[in-house]
Amino acid sequence: MKKKFLCSAIAFSLAVSMLSSGIGGSTVYAAESSKEKYVKSSGENIIAEFDDSDMITDFEVSEVEMPPEVIHEVDYNHLDHAVEEKILEEDVELPDEGAGEEDEEEQPNTDPNNAYIVTNNTAWNGTIENANEFRWYAFNAEAASKVTIFLQMNEALDADLYLFGVDDETSSLELIDGSATEGVGVTELLNTVVDSGIYFFAISGCESTGNYAFAFFQSSVDVANEINDSLADATTIGFGNVTGVIDNPLDYDYYKITLDSPAVIKYGITSTDGYSIGYAGSTGTGAGLYSIDNTNGFIKANAGTYYFAVSTNDNSVYSATSTYTVNFKKIANVSDSSSTFIVGISESAGIVLEVNNDATVNYVNGNLIDISYSYVNNLSNSAGGQYYNISIDPDAGEWITFSDVYEPAAVYYHSSTKPAMNVSSRPALLLTYVGNTQFYRINCLGTGAYSMNTYQHNFNNVTVLIDPSTGRLIDIVEFNYYYDFAPVGSNSITWTRSYSMNLYEDNGEE
């Protein structure tokens, strides 16, 4: 609706003494976590050579991929308009305590010197008795505050709303904001943020007369995020906690968060007042939210900007001081591959595992997993010689197994003496690969005093630790020549099952 011009600039001289008078005051497999520490040292847990009967088998991964459930936004803007038309009707409960109206014994509030003092969460009634008449009100903001005024009038009155600040140097009022919508009986809404100080607002008849009513709300708790009552004014946030208040029955707090790359996220709200948070829309090519696990609230979010709105579920429940806390959490990045799907999430470890249809191409936290390994060394001295050739072929068609004790797990890597890659202690992904060929080969020969170090065997399976931040191999867990066999030398690996991990079937359903 077209906005009309605010009435011509208004400045009223006003005694400083008046300013101080009276205004002061899917199927989900939850892998168990434990604090058991796994330590393997040379000379311990020696494993004999495998024969063909030791081949680990695995169930077949389905080739049918079912997309996860799409999350649709709620049109909060549509709700805003529907409710705004009823701001003073019976189905929107406004405050009745402290409600005021003109007292016959008081001076009429037709000039600022006789302004009525209003406070938070009060409703007032009044009458414009003469054309172009102003009715004045004042309030004190002890700190920077969000101020909301809902104004409704009878069908014969076209009332406008003007907000004034006080110019201390000239002791006059300066127009700083207002709401002037064209048409009789049309609701006016003023939402603004003011600094600390004394303020006046006036209701003007603009060439008409009649009755009006307004509700006044004032809050200073989350003023840094206001005004964020619409999608266009959404507060930009990052991952973490945000605290706010719903300070009036029609208050919506909008937030927006931007992802530069796909990720698994979750969001929620903590509120003693029963407030809720909902998805309000997105922008960006390819943006979209997809539910992975309704029980744990895991969502896949593509790159884009996402909008969320906090609101009350009961128009009688709101507060200028009772806070809610919204939490946005990123579990981990995921790949932008169209041929993989999420099969494992560990919130506590910050790990997300993706696989393709046969689990031969896999990602952790958006990084392509690479289990390639090659160690070749030839040592000799007067006592004898040692020849080492240990390798993993990553292109032999091996796949991740999900069977029994070999299923993927989120663990904590402490240290090892013969790592494939030197990294600090950190969460890691424990995976067991199996294949139809012997892709893991150990060919170690010892001569002379080192002859007992001889071990030669090829495997169709290997258990490894993967670094989530790179997708690269940290170390070989089992079978490891140094930790499981070599009788000469002092080597060990230590890791702990410190986290739980939710594992999903490939259809993305809970």
Quote the CA–CA distance of 280 and 310 in Å, as a whole number: 10
**C-alpha pair distances (Å), 505 with each of 117, 280, 355, 401:** 63, 29, 11, 13
Quote the CA–CA distance of 20 and 17 in Å, as a whole number: 6
Q: Which of 212, 145, 152 lies closest to 181 in space, CA to CA?
A: 152
Determine the pLDDT at residue 34.
46
pLDDT band at 72 (very low <50, low <70, confident <90, very high): confident
pLDDT band at 76 (very low <50, low <70, confident <90, very high): low
Task: Say yes or no to pLDDT of 82 above 70.
Answer: no
Task: Say yes or no to pLDDT of 65 above 50.
Answer: no
Q: What is the mean pLDDT of the chain?
A: 85
DSSP state of 373: E
Determine the pLDDT at residue 42.
53
By mean pLDDT, which of 78-92, 214-228, 388-402 is the weakest?
78-92
| Strands 492-496 vs 473-478: parallel, antiparallel or unpaired | unpaired
DSSP state of 404: G
Please state the rounded mean pLDDT for residues 257-272: 98
Q: Which of 370, 357, 465, 450 lies closest to 418 in space, CA to CA?
A: 465
* 112-220 CATH, one of 3.40.225.10, 2.60.120.380, 1.10.357.10, 3.40.50.2000: 2.60.120.380
Contact assessment for residue 342 and residue 504, using Cβ atoms and an 8 Å cutoff: yes
Contact assessment for residue 231 and residue 157, using Cβ atoms and an 8 Å cutoff: no
User: What tokens does 491 get?
Assistant: 């080597």
Q: What is the pLDDT of residues 427-438, one digit of tens each?
A: 999 999 999 999
Task: Say yes or no to pLDDT of 132 above 90.
Answer: no
**C-alpha pair distances (Å), 458 with each of 26, 312, 445:** 38, 64, 14
- CATH number given to 229-333: 2.60.120.380
Full 3-state SS string of 59-73: CCCCCCCCCCEEECC
DSSP state of 5: P
Where is pLDDT greater, at 341 or 68? Answer: 341
Helix (H/G/I), strand (E/B), else coil: 133: coil
Q: What is the pLDDT of residues 312-328, one digit of tens each?
A: 999 999 999 999 999 99
What are the residue ranges spanned by the domains of the chain? 112-220, 229-333, 342-503
Decide: residue 241, CB within 10 A, 0-12 exposed, 13-18 middle, 19+ buried.
exposed
Helix (H) or strand (E) holding 3: none
Quote the CA–CA distance of 441 and 114 in Å, as a whole number: 93
Where is pLDDT greater, at 41 or 112? Answer: 112
Q: Which of 183, 270, 281 lies closest to 230 in space, CA to CA?
A: 281
Helix (H/G/I), strand (E/B), else coil: 22: coil
Determine the pLDDT at residue 124.
97
In the chain, pLDDT over 70 holds for what percent of residues? 79
Quote the CA–CA distance of 60 and 50 in Å, as a whole number: 23
Task: Say yes or no to pLDDT of 257 above 90.
Answer: yes
Determine the pLDDT at residue 207.
74
Determine the pLDDT at residue 475.
99
**C-alpha pair distances (Å), 109 with each of 102, 135, 356:** 8, 5, 74
Determine the pLDDT at residue 3.
45
Where is pLDDT greater, at 5 or 372? Answer: 372
By mean pLDDT, which of 80-89, 381-390, 411-420 is the weakest?
80-89
What is the signed CA dihedral for 53, 59, 60, 62, rounded to 10 degrees? -170
pLDDT band at 83 (very low <50, low <70, confident <90, very high): very low
* Amino acid identity for residue 449 in this structure: A
Domains 112-220 and 229-333 share a fold: yes
∠ CA 329-333-335, rounded to 5°:
150
Determine the pLDDT at residue 13.
39
Q: What is the pLDDT of residues 140-187, one digit of tens each?
A: 999 999 999 999 999 999 999 999 999 988 889 999 999 999 899 999
Write down the pTM of the prediction: 0.83
Contact assessment for residue 225 and residue 235, using Cβ atoms and an 8 Å cutoff: yes
Task: Say yes or no to pLDDT of 500 above 70.
Answer: yes
Contact assessment for residue 327 and residue 308, using Cβ atoms and an 8 Å cutoff: no
Determine the pLDDT at residue 487.
78
Full 3-state SS string of 296-356: CCEEEECCEEEEEEEECCCCCCCCCCCCEEEEEEEEEECCCCCCCEEEEEECCCCEEEEEC
User: What tokens does 47 get?
Assistant: 């494993």
User: What tokens does 453 get?
Assistant: 């170090």
pLDDT band at 73 (very low <50, low <70, confident <90, very high): confident
Task: Say yes or no to pLDDT of 89 above 70.
Answer: no
Determine the pLDDT at residue 39.
64
Where is pLDDT greater, at 375 or 5? Answer: 375
